[in-house]
Amino acid sequence: MKTKKIVLFASGSGSNVENIFNYFQEHPNVEVSCVLTNKRSAQVIDRCNRLKINALYFNRHSFYNTGFVCSVLKDMKPDLIVLAGFLWKIPSNLIETFPDKIINIHPALLPKYGGKGMYGSNVHKAVKENGETETGITIHYVNEHYDEGAIIQQAKTIVEEEDTPESIAAKVHELEYEHFPKVIEQLLKKA
Ligand code: GRF
């Protein structure tokens, strides 16, 4: 069976990248080919070095104004492009080149708490401030609008009164670690 390739995009800590890499490390026909990042100082780069994953940095110009990232991706021929804490909007040329092959994870139950500015701790603070009794994750396809692509899977967790934005973030991360690799595996079976 042909090896299926995942390319990951990340801007931050990269704990999901590490979790996905570990999940597939012993997999007979799935590999993490590369991690692309738009942040030179991102902790994900240290993780990639430690785990010996290829990492590639690109800047705003090469992402939006040249075909650099798109042509790198075309050469890699990924079966799935996975955004794991990637904060820039995906340009339409990438979406058109890789239809139904780009997915994202959002740390809330979309359509709630999505859109511009709703990332990282902003999301968990808003969930807390609004007194939500549940939150969760949404794994979805990426289209031209932030957090609006078709939903693939959601999972929920309870928000207790004593929860803080930090403890909510920890609960949400647990859901991400549990579900994201499995959803990727399912999608790759169909790819
Ligand atoms: C995750 O909560 C993910 O849902 C969001 O960004 C965060 C990335 O965390 N899109 P990490 O860098 O994988 O630790």
Distance CA 49, CA 79 (A): 23
pLDDT per residue as tens digits for the range 90-114: 999 999 999 999 999 999 999 999 9
Neighbours of 62 (CB within 10 A): 15
pLDDT of residue 128: 98
Any ligand 1 atom below 6 A from CB of 147: no
Distance CA 145, CA 3 (A): 31
Q: What is the CA radius of gyration of the chain?
A: 16
**Counting atoms of ligand 1 from 1, which one is nearest the CA of 13?**
12
Task: Tell me which of 17, 51, 176, 184 to substitute to probe ligand 1's pocket, judged by most ligand atoms within 8 Å of the beta carbon.
Answer: 176
pLDDT of residue 119: 92
C-alpha torsion sign, points 95, 101, 107, 113:
positive
SS3 102: strand
Residue 146 has pLDDT above 80, yes or no: no
Q: Which of 66, 80, 79, 85 is nearest to 16 (CA)?
A: 85
Q: State the catalytic residues.
A: 106
Query: Strand 134-141's sheet: what is its strand order?
Result: 55-57, 30-37, 4-10, 80-83, 102-106, 134-141, 151-158
pLDDT-above-90 percentage for the chain: 92
pLDDT of residue 54: 97
Q: Residue with the nearest Cα to atom 6 of ligand 1?
A: 85
Residue 148 has pLDDT above 90, yes or no: no
Please, which pLDDT band fits residue 147 given cuts at 50, 70 and 90?
A: confident
Please, which pLDDT band fits residue 154 given cuts at 50, 70 and 90?
A: very high
Any ligand 1 atom below 6 A from CB of 14: yes
Please, which pLDDT band fits residue 1 given cuts at 50, 70 and 90?
A: confident
Any ligand 1 atom below 6 A from CB of 149: no
pLDDT of residue 2: 87
pLDDT per residue as tens digits for the range 37-70: 999 999 999 999 999 999 999 999 999 999 999 9
Residue 174 has pLDDT above 80, yes or no: yes
Q: How far is the CA of 16 from the centre of ligand 1 (A)?
A: 6
How far are the Cα atoms of 30, 123, 128 from residue 44, in angstroms, in the given order?
A: 21, 21, 27
**Counting atoms of ligand 1 from 1, which one is nearest the CA of 137?**
4
Distance CA 166, CA 62 (A): 34
**Counting atoms of ligand 1 from 1, which one is nearest the CA of 12?**
12
Q: Which helix (H) or strand (E) holds 16?
A: helix 15-24
